[in-house]
Copies of this chain bind each other. A is one copy, B any other.
Amino acid sequence: MRQALHRLTIETRGKGLTDISRPIIDWTASQGIETGLLTVWCRHTSASLTVQENADPTVRADILRFFETLVPEAAGRYAHEDEGPDDMPAHLRTMLTETQLSIPVAAGRPVFGTWQALYLFEHRRRPHPREIVLHLLGE
């Protein structure tokens, strides 16, 4: 049994979903581990992870719209406003989605379903560099 750690920096372009499946699958494949467990950790509280459909891009547009409605940016609604009107909603949207995902690896590849992709979900308006830690354990 072996393990490996890796840090990935993703430059986001403000609010939106960035598909990070490819770098994650490629790094896993490069480790020479056939069977194991891959963990993905997002080191932020205003960006998060989610597994969603990789096909129709309107799904991503609907997701953004849904979260704007569910957790609105609204002046005077939140006590925490120092870092801008998009900061507290960003924290809440992070809480409702994922900071971590662990996926089994078989035949050297995370076992994503046919329609699954792993996205980094940026919740702030401005672009940010986001640090993702990958941990792989197996043999």
Contacts and interface: CB of A to CB of B under 8 A. Distances in A.
* Interface SS of A by simple majority: mixed
A42 to B, nearest CB: 8
Given A99-B101, A135-B104, A61 B79 contact: yes
A80 to B, nearest CB: 4
B95 A43 contact: no
Interface string A83-124: 000001001101111111111101000011111100000000
Given A58-B80, A62-B78, 19 more contacts: A1-B1, A3-B35, A37-B37, A39-B104, A41-B111, A43-B111, A43-B116, A45-B53, A45-B113, A51-B94, A58-B79, A61-B79, A62-B88, A66-B92, A99-B116, A100-B102, A102-B102, A104-B135, A113-B131
15 contacts: A1-B3, A3-B36, A5-B35, A43-B116, A44-B115, A45-B51, A45-B53, A45-B116, A59-B80, A61-B79, A62-B79, A66-B92, A99-B101, A104-B133, A104-B135
User: Which 3 residue pairs across A and B have the least CB separation, nearest first?
Assistant: A43-B113, A104-B135, A58-B79
Interface of A: 1, 3, 5, 35-37, 39, 41-45, 50-53, 56, 58-59, 61-63, 66, 70-71, 78-80, 82, 88, 91-92, 94-104, 106, 111-116, 131, 133-135, 137-139
